[in-house]
């Protein structure tokens, strides 16, 4: 990433971690965490669907906005599941240069199991 995207995502994750234990009455993040994995997982699904709809409708602005919402909620889902951005970055790095088809044939891709 030539820009500061990775830094921005890391900073966002830090904010999510910090707000997780805040008062749910004053923090959206804390409110989501109070609903547990199910609540946050549902929000991830909703935001993913909204992003797909925007993309299918060629709504670039909507896709960008919904993608930001999706990343935000996905990061909350990572946090509640004790996954960090570094964990995901490592997995992406591991996959660099590996054909998705070859990975599936070798049974290395989670959806091939």
User: Which residues constitute the domain of residue 48?
Assistant: 10-83
Domain count, the chain: 1
Residue 1 lies in a domain: no
As a whole number, mean pLDDT of residues 35-48 equals 99
The answer to the question of residue 33 being in a domain is yes
Q: Average pLDDT of the chain? A: 91
Can you give the C-alpha Rg of the chain in angstroms? 16
Q: What is the pLDDT of residues 63-76, one digit of tens each?
A: 999 999 999 999 99
CATH of residue 57's domain is 1.10.287.1080
DSSP string, 93-106: HHHTT--HHHHHHT
Task: Provide the residue count of the chain.
Answer: 113
**Cα separation, 89 vs 75, whole angstroms:** 13
pLDDT of residue 105: 67
pLDDT band at 1 (very low <50, low <70, confident <90, very high): very low
Region class of 82: left (phi > 0), else alpha (psi between -120 and 50), else beta: left
Average pLDDT over residues 40-45: 99
For residue 99, being part of any structural domain is answered with no
Q: Is the pLDDT of residue 86 over 80?
A: yes
């Amino acid at each position: 990433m030539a820009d500061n995207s990775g830094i921005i995502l890391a900073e966002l994750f830090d904010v999510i971690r910090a707000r997780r234990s805040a008062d749910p009455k004053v923090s959206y993040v804390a409110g989501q965490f109070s609903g547990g994995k199910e609540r946050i997982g549902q929000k991830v699904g909703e935001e993913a669907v909204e992003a797909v709809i925007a993309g299918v409708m060629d709504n670039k602005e909507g896709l960008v906005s919904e993608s930001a919402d999706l990343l935000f909620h996905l990061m909350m889902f990572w946090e509640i599941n004790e996954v960090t951005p570094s964990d995901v970055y490592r997995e992406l790095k591991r996959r660099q240069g590996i054909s998705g088809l070859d990975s599936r044939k070798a049974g290395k891709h989670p959806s091939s199991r």
